[in-house]
A and B are shown apart, each in its own frame.
Chain A
Amino acid sequence: MLKDGCPQAIKNCSGHFSKLIDPQVCNTLLTDIARFLSLDEEVDEPADITGKRMVAIAEGPYKALQAYFNCRTGIPREAKVLNCCTVNRLTFSTFTRHRGNSFILVRCPSLSSIPARIESILQVSNGETYFVVRFFLKTMSEDPFEKYPVLQSSLWSQDLGQLVIIKPQDVESHFAGLFFTWYGAGCLAVVSLSRVTTVFSYFEPTLTISCRNINYHFYCGIFL
């Protein structure tokens, strides 16, 4: 509509076109549009940095930062504590702010993504943003979703691991989760909301891999 030669009738409808991409509307189609638009953008601004002061990082997140930086020197002592952060036009919040926006799948090298929840969001003095998360632990119960890999769903324990630091770039997508009881154990069913389907072409016996001090059992496969 901003280009020369755009018919006046179309320009008169600018309000309606704006509605089409209104970020306040909950709609997957709009999320699709937003994700494509974000490909042209380089910087993602945290959503609520205005007026935030640098404060001392609490002990738990600080220990997690030490582990993340491998105990090197120069670990930040202070940070802005944010309630939410926007990455690729998607809002990620702390668990206390919005449970659904805090549930994320974290990319893990050579493994399927691991569900986690965001406990806090830190922005350090150099502008870097870190998510302080807790990973959900793998359940001991049989996972009925393993039989249906295309559904991108899996069963996890309701128990959470220790605090871990991740970068926003490590986040694959949000997930939808439902807590329920499965064979007498409290479980969390996780459905990936990534719209990029990963398909496995065949299955081999289960493989156990240790990542971030947690043992995970996975099926091997070939990405298509």
Chain B
Amino acid sequence: MAELQSDIENMITPSWLTSVPTNLGEAKHGKLKADQWRTLGTTYLPISLIRMWYQVEDSTDQRSIQCRKLLEATLSLISAVVIASSRTISQEKTDLYLHHMQSYLKGLRKLFPRYRFLPNQHMALHLAEYLQLYGPVHSWWTFPFERLIGMLQRIPNNFQNGKL
């Protein structure tokens, strides 16, 4: 975790990129927002995890082998996220999204046989259909509305609802 925190601190990024807490993993920074999770996953994690887990020096070292498998599964998930949040979409990309999402879930099943999958992981398999039907997620995801609702909720109204 310390290495990941160090990488977050040392990564050089443009000023517009969503910031990720440098003390990641500590309770202090509170819950991450969806965009912070996406930025963490697609920008920071690939470099840090490949740097730490890609090299398997000793083929008999079980921990290294397990880390490498975990890396493959995680990178499948990240690849799926990158494709799903792309500004352009095509039949080939949706197929590839589904391929990576299935690889991730299969990897998870192999690594953690007792893990109980969640409804969100099932729904993620259906996202490929929606990408085909409705196009890039930017045109139909609800984040702008959620952001606006959050701002409206923070307006002081002195409990006089309907009298804005």
With contacts A26-B18, A176-B13 known, is A148 near B79, CB below 8 A? yes
CB-CB under 8 A from B96, the residues of chain A are 150, 199, 224
Q: How large is the interface on B (under 10, 10 to 19, 20 to 34, 35 or more residues)?
A: 35 or more
With contacts A9-B164, A193-B43, A196-B87 known, is A28 near B17, CB below 8 A? yes
Query: Which residues of A51-79 are within 8 A (CB) of B?
Result: none
Q: Mark A1-35, 1 if CB is under 8 A from B, else 0.
A: 00000000100110011011000001111111100
CB-CB under 8 A from A12, the residues of chain B are 164
CB-CB under 8 A from B78, the residues of chain A are 151
Q: Most chain-B CB neighbours within 10 Å: which of A29, A98, A101, A152? A: A29
> Number of residues in A with C-beta < 8 Å to the partner?
45
CB-CB under 8 A from B16, the residues of chain A are 26-28, 30-31, 90-91, 174
**Cα–Cα, bound, A73→B43 (Å):** 44
With contacts A9-B164, A153-B46, A224-B93 known, is A100 near B15, CB below 8 A? yes
Other-chain contact of A197, B43, B86, B148 (Cβ < 8 Å): B86
Determine if B144 and A29 form an interchain contact, defined as CB atoms under 8 angstroms apart.
yes
Determine if A28 and B35 form an interchain contact, defined as CB atoms under 8 angstroms apart.
yes
Which of the candidate stretches B47-55, B59-67, B104-112, B114-122 sits at the interface with the other chain? B47-55
Query: Which residues of B33-90 are within 8 A (CB) of A?
Result: 35, 38-39, 42-44, 46-47, 50-51, 54, 75, 78-79, 82-83, 85-88, 90
Interface residues of B: mostly helix, strand, loop or mixed? helix
Residue of B nearest to A183 (CB): B55
With contacts A26-B19, A145-B50, A224-B93 known, is A195 near B14, CB below 8 A? no
Determine if B47 and A199 form an interchain contact, defined as CB atoms under 8 angstroms apart.
no
Other-chain contact of B38, A28, A145, A179 (Cβ < 8 Å): A28
Q: Please, could you name 20 A-B residue pairs with CB atoms under 8 Å apart, sorted by A?
A: A12-B164, A13-B152, A28-B17, A98-B14, A100-B13, A103-B12, A145-B50, A148-B46, A150-B83, A150-B96, A176-B44, A177-B11, A178-B12, A182-B51, A193-B43, A196-B87, A197-B83, A199-B83, A199-B96, A201-B92
- Known A-B contacts: A176-B14, A193-B43. Give 8 more (CB < 8 A): A26-B19, A29-B143, A99-B12, A151-B46, A174-B13, A176-B44, A224-B90, A224-B93
Shortest Cβ-Cβ A-B pairs, 9 listed:
A197-B86, A150-B79, A224-B92, A174-B14, A189-B47, A100-B14, A176-B13, A195-B87, A144-B54
- A interface residues with partner B (beta carbon < 8 Å): 9, 12-13, 16-17, 19-20, 26-33, 90-91, 98-101, 103, 144-145, 148, 150-153, 174, 176-180, 182, 189, 191, 193, 195-197, 199, 201, 224
